[in-house]
Amino acid sequence: MPETALSIGGLRFRLSFAEQPHMLEEIAPFVEAAGEGYDVAVDYCPDPSVPDAEVTVSPSADAVSVRYHPGLAYRFAGIRGCLIYLPMEQLLLAHDRFFLHASLIASPFGGLLFTGDSGVGKSTQAELWREHMGSTVINGDRAIVAREENGWRAYGSPYAGSSGYYVKRDEPIRAIILLEQAPENRVDTVSPAEAFRRLLLQISLDYSKPEQVNRLCDLVTGLVEAVPIYRLRCTPDVRAVDALCEELRMEGEHG
């Protein structure tokens, strides 16, 4: 049976198929050599008894079965189509991870996450840091935030929207930046309570499942208590970079 190994958000997935699906450009960076020690094993299997597709997740979220009607095999011809059927939010959460609607960069200060409502300028700020600070844009739409033994890290993912940035790289989180458009630039620290409320609005999850919501709330509470959260009222130019750089330098000097 054909298999593909993927590394997404610091988790290793072993995907087993009836037929080998084709690979797309945004998935290729996350492919790994087959081996042992997978966090999640996924089995895709055609089943005439299933009218559409049926997904089953093990209680420990370390195994997933995707059974689908043979007439729908075309949906599973590509890896991206296969990933669509995975309950990724649930799987990530079970391993202390979640998607954050944010642009992630590797900056001279460390990993920075720019988050906020659609159209606020996440991609713009990431590009400004790339152009003026030599930063690397890792993901432009859905970064993965993870609580690990050594602290909080952010990962790139193949879920990059239209940004075109889907880099397999992870960084320790230096700060999370809540963006707001403004005529002048100003950086403020944000209280854990406000940061918690603002970040929840940018996290995708099935909020109809109380147990998942409770686990996510525990994670976000730990995040806002451990990682600096800033509000950046900003212009779409290099002045915003300068303002945030100054704040990060000052915080570093007094930290």
How would you classify residue 161: left for phi > 0, otherwise alpha for psi between -120 and 50, otherwise beta?
left
Residue 241 has a pLDDT of: 97
What's the rounded mean pLDDT across residues 47-59? 96
What's the rounded mean pLDDT across residues 137-153? 96
Residue 254 has a pLDDT of: 55
What's the rounded mean pLDDT across residues 104-113? 97
Res. 59 pLDDT band, cuts 50 70 90: very high
Residue 8 has a pLDDT of: 97
For the cut 70, the answer to whether the pLDDT of residue 253 exceeds it is no
* Mean pLDDT, rounded, of the chain: 94
For the cut 70, the answer to whether the pLDDT of residue 252 exceeds it is no
DSSP bridge partners of 31: 6
What's the rounded mean pLDDT across residues 72-82? 91
Q: Give me 143's structure tokens.
A: 């970064």
Residue 26 has a pLDDT of: 84
DSSP 8-state symbol, 203: B
Residues 6+ apart with CB under 8 A from 98: 89, 92, 144, 145, 203, 204, 205, 216, 219
Query: Which residue would you say has higher pLDDT here, 195 or 255?
Result: 195
Alpha helices in the chain (DSSP H): 79-84, 88-94, 122-133, 192-200, 210-226, 238-254
3-state SS assignment for residue 218? helix
Residue 230 has a pLDDT of: 97
Reported pTM: 0.94
What's the rounded mean pLDDT across residues 21-25? 84
Quick: pLDDT tens for 226-241: 999 999 999 999 999 9
Residue 37 has a pLDDT of: 84
pLDDT cut 90: percent of the chain above it:
83
